[in-house]
Amino acid sequence: MKKWLIASALLFGQGFAQQNLSELQNEYQNALKTAPKTTGNTTWKSLMDRVEELKNQTPTPEVLRLRANIYSDVKWWIKAKTAWEDFQKVGNLSADEKKRYSEALHNLAFTAAHRNEPNLQEALQYAKQAIEVTPDYYPARYLLAETYQDLGDYSNAKNAWKEVLDINPTDSKAQYFVNVGDRLSRFGPEVNQAFVRGYSAYSENQKTEALNLFKKTTELGPEFTEGWRYYARTAFELGDVKAALAGYQKLSELEGQTPENTYWLNYATEASQYGLEAVKAYRSGYTAYQQKNLKGAESLFKQATTLSPNYQKAWAWLGRVRYEQKNYSGAVQAYMQAVTLDPEDDSSEYYLKLAKNRK
């Protein structure tokens, strides 16, 4: 009689627990559709409280799976990590569940690496765990490479970037750091960390933050050419012509007058004299001229002279495109400005005379 009562109680308890689980699973599905996935939302708070209570009563694989999914959905990463660990002890994770487990580990790694006082060893540990769970989990592979780079472990960083490329051969950042890693290795972890973070900010279009980090890179490693290159490039893109000019001047000192350095140094020099927008208009006009778009080129050269009335080259080219369109009076006007600004411009002087004769 006693054994029967115990068995009946157990069966009743199991049935009650199964009913609670079914109700909780239904409410979970509704919450996915209707409630914001945050720890502060009352619906999700209720789900978390009740799944914890059910887990303490009957920690079946189904309960533990639901618990892990709930914590992953609200992005409570440390709880999600523990919950997936608990489930893994009693059940087999599907491919999707492994990715959710790796996502939690990756986010813990990211937090460790990017808090005010980073713990890079902790970040490394979590990233490795994420990869153990899901070997092809791209974000964890990426963070692992970045963390090795920050630590100044250049050999492991290079290997980790290569593994990123195995997953995504088109990843430009991984390609870049595989190639630049040997050069970076000569400047130490502080330069490395500043540059890697600057490059990440630049890749994410956070240009102001990137500029500050590249500036720090040049201060810590004044001979590191890539730091100057990206400092100048980012400054240019932010419209800081003075910083861009200083960057390209230093880069030219370190690398010499390569075609690329000469192009950008000239660009920055002109921008400092005539203004960045005027130089952009002028160079766009020259591109339009090369494409035989004379009307477009004329409009852009005119824009450049309006933005910067002392821009002699823009006046000379404005005269040229007008002359080629047989607008000789307009050509005379433009060439006269060019010659006034630079009396030694023999070409403009010559075409000014031709245009006057054809008016």
Give the mean model confidence (pLDDT) for residues 237-241.
Answer: 94
Cα–Cα distances (Å) from 353 to 60, 179, 333, 350, in that order, read: 95, 55, 12, 5
**Length of the chain (residues):** 359
The verdict on pTM exceeding 0.85 is: no
- Contact between 180 and 172 under an 8 Å Cβ cutoff? The reply is no
Beta strands (DSSP E) in 91-133 are: none
* 198-274 and 293-358, same CATH topology: yes
pLDDT at 3 over 60: no
Class of domain 198-274: mainly alpha
pLDDT at 16 over 70: no
pLDDT at 7 over 80: no
pLDDT band with cut points at 50, 70 and 90 for residue 17: low
DSSP code of 342?
-
- Contact between 87 and 64 under an 8 Å Cβ cutoff? The reply is yes
121: nearest Cα among 135, 132, 109, 134: 109
First to last CA, the chain: 122
pLDDT at position 2: 43
pLDDT band with cut points at 50, 70 and 90 for residue 18: low
The Cα–Cα gap between 59 and 164 comes to: 38
Homologous superfamily (CATH) of 293-358 is: Tetratricopeptide repeat domain (1.25.40.10)
pLDDT band with cut points at 50, 70 and 90 for residue 8: very low
pLDDT band with cut points at 50, 70 and 90 for residue 180: confident
Domain extents in the chain:
198-274, 293-358
Quote the crossing angle between the two packed helices 259-274 and 225-237, to the nearest 10°. Answer: 40
How is residue 78 written in tokens?
A: 């440390």
> Average pLDDT, whole number, for the chain?
90
Give the mean model confidence (pLDDT) for residues 148-165.
Answer: 88
The Cα–Cα gap between 214 and 224 comes to: 11
| pLDDT tens readout for residues 90-114 | 989 999 999 999 999 999 999 999 8
pLDDT at position 359: 64
252 vs 176, which has greater pLDDT?
Answer: 252
pLDDT at position 179: 81
pLDDT at 313 over 50: yes
